[in-house]
Amino acid sequence: MAKDFSAFIEELKDKCDIVETVSKYVTLERKGGKFWGRCPFHNEKTPSFAVNGEAQFYHCFGCGVSGDVIKFVQEMESLDFMDSVRLLCEKSGTKMPDSFAKTDDNDTAELKKTKDRLYSLLKETAKYYYLCLKNNKDALNYLYKRGIDDKYITVFGLGYSDGKVISYLKQKGFTAKELITSGVAVEKNGNLSDTLEKRLIIPIINSMGDVIAFGGRDLEGKSYAKYKNTAETPLFSKSKNIFAINLVKKSRHKGSI
């Protein structure tokens, strides 16, 4: 029997606790029955963003925004309502009833498989870049000189591309096609070429902690583009991942990478 849509939404909201979800983006502190943090929607130094776990909504006393968990994810990830619902379904392991899941922009089983492969490819790539950085004195010194220490490198998962990531990933069983689709490599004159070779790497991570793309900063000053991102991919849409990009920008400002 087809479930009522609003009943389904209520059920989803029950599963996706707002305090837990907001905590993935904002550091919250418990005070007087509510959770408080610095508002992600306006600039402030003292927390006026309150999350009410009992009533399952947020409200900012500074800029006046409020809403439920779906609205919050919508705003944070620049998604429309249905995409926000889909994301919450995915993260909470909730199956959306087929009657609500529009087929046109919903992932097919095939696309889902492709995406899973890409997630693991990018995870391997991030690990590889990170280890490269740890073994590259020049790149490390570049960061240390800018006040970026080992802790910061670990937290942001910074890395360095030594140009050998392609053979590493092939060894791990990834195909040339997957390397290109992920944005890690491009095809040049029939060969695979490392997109971010000899660059300092800043992983772009979605709200749930998956690496979805990379940003690279030229260290040698030879490249036309000082900063470069990997291309749009099935995982990374520049228009939909504004939050991730903001994070990278913030990290750049903080440490002046």
Pure H helices in the chain: 5-15, 18-23, 69-77, 81-92, 109-134, 137-145, 150-156, 165-171, 176-182, 242-255
Is residue 67 a contact residue for Zn ion (CB under 5 A)? no
Tokens (6 digits) for 22: 């907001």
Of 3, 10, 27, 63, the residue at the interface with Zn ion (CB under 5 A) is 63
Out of 60, 87, 165, 205, the residue judged to bind Zn ion by CB under 5 A: 60
- For Zn ion, the closer of residues 8 and 35 by Cβ is 35
Nearer to Zn ion, 62 or 255 (CB): 62
CA distance 156 to 149: 11
C-alpha separations of 234 from 38, 220, 230 in Å:
32, 31, 12
Q: Of 70, 65, 66, which is closest to residue 91 (Cα–Cα)?
A: 70
With respect to Zn ion, which residue has the nearer C-beta, 38 or 252?
38
Nearer to Zn ion, 63 or 242 (CB): 63
- Per-residue binding string, Zn ion, 201-240, x by CB under 5 A, is ----------------------------------------
Q: Which is nearer to Zn ion, 59 or 170 (CB)?
A: 59
3-state secondary structure of 179: helix
Count of residues near Zn ion by CB under 5 A:
6
24-53: which residues touch Zn ion (CB under 5 A)?
A: 39, 41-42
Dig out the tokens for 192 from the structure.
């695979």
Question: Which of 53, 62, 67, 157: binder of Zn ion (CB under 5 A)?
Answer: 62
Q: Can you read off the two tokens belonging to residue 211? A: 């690496």
Residues that bind Zn ion (CB under 5 A): 39, 41-42, 60, 62-63
